[in-house]
Structure 1
């Protein structure tokens, strides 16, 4: 498997989907309810996903794909599985907020080996191949420095769609963050948060029972930029596709910032 070629396929597909999204958000966006928890889906989600699936499966017809809207395409448990988030930030688009990205990951035996995040608004793409570092679309290697802020860290928060409003753990975690962080961003676009962390724009991410489809691409991008990801008890964290929601809670930050972030939460 040529991962350089796979990166090219993923980047070109994500950027084509991004162009579709950017054009679509200039007009009226069709929005409808998705599930019973207040989530939504737009016509742009479906159009972007169709484009991504066609690009990926044309290049790799024997691979499987897990897509945000279509679910599993192909056989489960194969060696190569793609994860596709055609519009990360759907709720933002639905209210006219230009904060959304496209995410694509490739996993081998469940472990992410390639991650791509494309921001149509800024026209930037970030990609990573396991063991080879993370790059911007200009070819610049991402390596955010350790730079503590005087009034606490700037953090992002993400949680899974299935987390209930009255979850006691969520309330406790958010209270700890609000009391100790300089700012807590809730962007409704986790992959955008991961890109910001990999660039050094924010200091960390706290995730609680995160969604599967957007996690591997973002986590790999951050890890290859030098970010460390830990479970809430400080153990190792890996964004595998066979994890349950309960196994997808984490803190992510520069390695020197991880102890302080874990202490803040506890």
Structure 2
């Protein structure tokens, strides 16, 4: 894709994300039809569905030949080499339900299975994160750069429990956290994979790990971290793959490796 087209796609995505954010603000705190997906803690609201429908309708006006994958409409998503928009209309739905402001829309344009544009907008925090492959990452127009932390002992690590609540997974997560807590400065969970990745890109935390994710959780944020100078890898140290739904993102390879070394033994039932 040429430079002019890349910038055009980003501009459209930013405008659509801003409008979607206004939809979230208007619906926040009001009555919602809420449905359960994987578990009682994995929810979808009518606003999730309305935002996704709006976003895809707007994008199709500009890019009728592009493909689309969205959290609320994809049943078994397949990613091809064609230009594809991957959208999570509300990342942090549980937060949204409780009016906890750590909520965003995440949009990525992917080409040949690699993100080339990432737009993450948090309307309640008033933060617009953007990245284009090869052009850096920004928050509200200000360049982003990951932290310079070099040791796990001085790091702040982000994690999420995820949408599954079976006993084996909970035990695995608990083991991971115990293992990491012995070494790092602290652990934090915010309820949004996309914003966790932006937090790494912003230098406010040093590492993040999670498994059992989907491509819409990761596509935009992974690019934003990479373009901010960070390191993104599969949780098994393999090359990061959007469709495997496993990630370690960090300010550098040393922190990523240290996190993986601490947690991998507890993940073997799931990797």
TM-score class, shorter-chain normalisation, is 0.7 to 0.9
- Provide the residue aligned with 2:147 in structure 1: 145
Give the CA RMSD over aligned residues: 2.5
CA contact (8 A) 1:112 1:239 kept: no
- Provide the residue aligned with 1:258 in structure 2: 256
Partners of 1:75 and 1:262 lie apart in 2 by 28
1:1-266 paired onto structure 2 within 5 Å:
1=1, 2-25=5-28, 27-38=29-40, 39-71=42-74, 77=80, 79-138=82-141, 140-147=142-149, 152-158=154-160, 160-162=162-164, 164-167=166-169, 168-235=171-238, 237-240=239-242, 243-244=243-244, 248-255=245-252, 256-265=254-263
- Provide the residue aligned with 2:268 in structure 1: none
| TM-score under structure 1 length normalisation | 0.87
| TM-score under structure 2 length normalisation | 0.85
Check 1:40–1:259 CA distance in 2 against 1; reply closer, same or farther (3 A cut).
closer
More divergent stretch after superposition (251-260 vs 74-83): 74-83
Shift >6 Å, 4+ stretches: 72-76
CA contact (8 A) 1:42 1:90 kept: yes
CA contact (8 A) 2:152 2:259 kept: no
Pairwise CA distance, 1:196:
0.9
CA contact (8 A) 1:64 1:78 kept: no
Check 1:181–1:33 CA distance in 2 against 1; reply closer, same or farther (3 A cut).
farther
Partners of 1:116 and 1:91 lie apart in 2 by 21
Partners of 1:61 and 1:163 lie apart in 2 by 39
Partners of 1:186 and 1:162 lie apart in 2 by 15
Q: Which runs of 5+ in 1 are unaligned?
A: none
Q: Equivalent residue of 1:83, what SS?
A: strand
CA contact (8 A) 1:102 1:119 kept: yes
Higher helix share: 2
More divergent stretch after superposition (207-216 vs 3-12): 207-216
Which string of whole-angstrom CA distances, capped at 9 and with x for unpartnered residues, describes residues 115-157 of structure 1?
111010122211111121112222x221123136896421111
Q: Which runs of 5+ in 2 are unaligned?
A: 265-271
Pairwise CA distance, 1:178:
3.1
